[in-house]
Chain A
């Protein structure tokens, strides 16, 4: 059983997982559709109070649509007025326009209206006209992936706009978009994007297959979609990178990777991704390369600090007192001496508190969020130490690892790392350095097992691809980028010569 089947099974909506031919699944509606008549059609939309039905006796036409999904001026200009003024010949002329799509399928018609099309019922037949343009958020900066330099636009919750943002920056007819639908109820549009000739076809097929295999009631966000299609759903680590930024997305497309967009979600999924990609930001590329390199190294150092600092504190103060250098010993003992708990409990309490602070800050409006910061800073930072609740060295270590965890650009990865840290702290509390190293070994073994869309997750460190190191561990100058990264297994390795 392939992995995506397993995934689908895991997320399966209770139905048997046996029959999953893609033709049956995505558009299936519960009622058996009869022939497409106005009455049958309206029956499908029974009790949908927001449905508009417009009858034009002159042409005996019926217009059915949701007025909050369509663009009213376009609707009036393109459909209503021509219909009112057209005679019998004019009507035939009008219906030949490519905008008017004839259909005889009730299911399609229903879906069309739900997608913001206007259903035009004429004696000659039923036509669907696309005038979809609902209210939407304007294009703004990304909250979770802000960059200081570079383009500031970010995806919004509308797939059409997002596709437009990508098409604007990647003007090539080789950029292909495969449209799919996910979700029994939500029928969310999902688009699989790739650049023909650069992306490896097997990856695209695999991805499409996985998305088609999803059996889930509803889909609300790209990050949710990501968890339904990844290789190891039980792993702590995200196996696909997500981004809200069009510039990141097209850079990945240009590397030969696949991008998946979900409607109603600003997060694009990049596949395949490697562990180290989660530590890169677009700012690395917009800065001078030396600065970009320094930033990248800083992030790896931050990663190591996040993972290890508190657990080493626990290991050293619980078991390996001899490792503490002399000048640190006195102050460490002094601050520890008033703490009533063993270091492991102390560390867990503090780490949990910091996590609670972070979580509270994330949920609250900005103004109250600041209050939380101040309260947390004073209460935890000062009062807890003065009351002999924790040692101040632990506060420093916890705060440092919290700060370091926010240096990791990907929010999802940062959460995974923070969770892993708790495991390490517990292991260090159990067996000191030994337990810590056991934890490190477990993490490494786990990471080495992971794959992303079947491609190794820890590439280019393992398997070794030294060619790729210059864009993963450092950010080498652009002239040194001669090849696309090997994880994408692009059939067209050289970026600057697009072969026909």
Chain B
């Protein structure tokens, strides 16, 4: 592992890019279906929930005085309880990373390469992810900075769509016609997932507490990008259309036209690979360090290889987009459990330690 510590800005960008995933392309539709009219408000609600969750994580860091999550858990809780938990994490985290790639690739297949096997495309992404993860978290965060710089050029591009934006289409009705507001908020919240991995980052971050604030910065960036995208979609399309379009964001970018290039959504969706790579890499990386906690002797690269090979085999099962989304949904339920459960467990462990100390 690199001795160098992660700069807080790098952490913020890493958080942003980990959160940002394929969800952004379907987010407007999800809000429209589940929340109904003006569903973009749901993004703000989900953002608040996530902020609370991040506060919980920062609380663990403050109370544990920067110790690694494994040490915090290990000091307070018996190992026979933790090992199964770690095993489950070691299986699920890489699975999520794998499904993220899978979903991206399946959408790519739908949009551009209908004849190509999605596994071929996935193999390419897997190769990139493998190389990324084996470089270690410090180099990952550096590469990620370039990724973010490339991805954020989409924001000014999307601003050129404002001339087609009409407030009239937003309608004054709030959350009408939504199927299931609770489900909608959950899906919104799930789009923010990825921040929960940063609980594993404690020993790698810079030593002061400033970086905790930068977690919120990264989250705010995600929130504002999501908000921008959904609001734009609500004003660019109308509500009924949004519920019917599979990937509204891509349709919106498809409307963009530059003198030398048209249909930029092709390119932008390809560029989104850079976000997928970071997201998947972070999940695989977390899986790797969890495995390293159970079996400290194993070589890091071998672990990553085995995790990837295993998850790829499992990921061969779902074929269609709805299947992939269903799998993803189940994993996301689990992951949101981790997002709240792990910090709470860590706090519990810290309390037990304190209790022991005061007794001793």
Q: Is B262 an interface residue (CB 8 A)?
A: yes
Within 8 A of B (CB), among A393-448: 431-438, 440-442, 444-448
A151 and B146 CA atoms in complex are apart in Å by: 36
B145: chain A residues within 8 A (beta carbon)? 461-464
Q: Is B220 an interface residue (CB 8 A)?
A: no
A440 and B150 CA atoms in complex are apart in Å by: 10
Q: Is A249 an interface residue (CB 8 A)?
A: no
CB distance from A418 to the nearest CB of B (A): 21
If A456-B142, A461-B146, A464-B10 are given as contacts, then 15 extra A-B residue pairs at C-beta distance below 8 Å, sorted by A number, are A319-B113, A320-B112, A323-B264, A324-B261, A325-B257, A325-B259, A432-B113, A434-B113, A435-B124, A437-B270, A441-B277, A448-B135, A448-B140, A461-B145, A463-B4
Given contacts A433-B266, A434-B113, A464-B10, contact A448 B142 (CB under 8 A): yes
Cβ-defined contact, B273 with A441, below 8 A: yes
Cβ-defined contact, A434 with B262, below 8 A: no
Given contacts A434-B270, A464-B9, contact A448 B146 (CB under 8 A): yes
Closest B residue to A316 using CB positions: B261
Q: 0/1 per residue, A450-467, Cβ < 8 Å to B?
A: 000000101001111000
Q: 0/1 per residue, B172-200, Cβ < 8 Å to A?
A: 00000000000000000000000000000
CB distance from B151 to the nearest CB of A (A): 11
Given contacts A433-B267, A444-B146, A458-B142, contact A438 B262 (CB under 8 A): no
Within 8 A of B (CB), among A307-338: 319-320, 322-326, 328
A320: chain B residues within 8 A (beta carbon)? 112, 263, 266-267
A6 and B280 CA atoms in complex are apart in Å by: 32
A105 and B106 CA atoms in complex are apart in Å by: 76
Question: Which range contains the number of B residues in contact with the other chain?
Answer: 35 or more
A-B contact number at CB 8 A: 108
B124: chain A residues within 8 A (beta carbon)? 431, 434-435, 438
Cβ-defined contact, A441 with B10, below 8 A: no
A431: chain B residues within 8 A (beta carbon)? 113, 121, 124
A323: chain B residues within 8 A (beta carbon)? 261-264, 266-267
Given contacts A328-B260, A441-B273, A449-B139, contact A462 B266 (CB under 8 A): no
Q: Among B143, B261, B270, which residue has its beta carbon within 8 angstroms of that of A445?
A: B143
Cβ-defined contact, B9 with A444, below 8 A: no
Given contacts A441-B274, A445-B132, contact A463 B10 (CB under 8 A): yes
Within 8 A of B (CB), among A126-149: none
A239 and B318 CA atoms in complex are apart in Å by: 44
Cβ-defined contact, B108 with A434, below 8 A: yes
Cβ-defined contact, A462 with B146, below 8 A: yes
Q: Among A325, A326, A433, A463, which residue has its beta carbon within 8 angstroms of that of B270?
A: A433
Q: 0/1 per residue, A4-35, Cβ < 8 Å to B?
A: 00000000000000000000000000000000
CB distance from A313 to the nearest CB of B (A): 12
CB distance from B35 to the nearest CB of A (A): 32
Q: 0/1 per residue, B242-282, Cβ < 8 Å to A?
A: 00000000000000011111111011001101100100000
Cβ-defined contact, A444 with B135, below 8 A: no
A323 and B267 CA atoms in complex are apart in Å by: 9
Cβ-defined contact, A438 with B112, below 8 A: no
Closest A residue to B8 using CB positions: A464
Cβ-defined contact, B147 with A444, below 8 A: yes
Cβ-defined contact, B262 with A442, below 8 A: no
CB distance from A272 to the nearest CB of B (A): 14
A269 and B261 CA atoms in complex are apart in Å by: 42
B277: chain A residues within 8 A (beta carbon)? 441
Shortest Cβ-Cβ A-B pairs, 4 listed: A433-B270, A462-B142, A448-B143, A448-B142
A466 and B228 CA atoms in complex are apart in Å by: 26
A324 and B113 CA atoms in complex are apart in Å by: 17
Q: Is B54 an interface residue (CB 8 A)?
A: no
A464: chain B residues within 8 A (beta carbon)? 7, 9-10, 145
Closest B residue to A456 using CB positions: B142
Cβ-defined contact, B262 with A448, below 8 A: no
Closest B residue to A323 using CB positions: B263
Cβ-defined contact, B274 with A325, below 8 A: no
List, sorted by A's number, 28 A–B pairs whose CB atoms are closer than 8 Å: A319-B112, A320-B112, A323-B261, A325-B257, A328-B260, A432-B113, A433-B270, A435-B124, A437-B270, A437-B271, A438-B273, A441-B128, A441-B274, A444-B143, A444-B274, A445-B131, A445-B132, A445-B135, A445-B143, A446-B131, A448-B135, A448-B143, A449-B135, A458-B146, A462-B10, A462-B142, A462-B144, A463-B7
Q: 0/1 per residue, B84-119, Cβ < 8 Å to A?
A: 000000000000000000000000100011000000
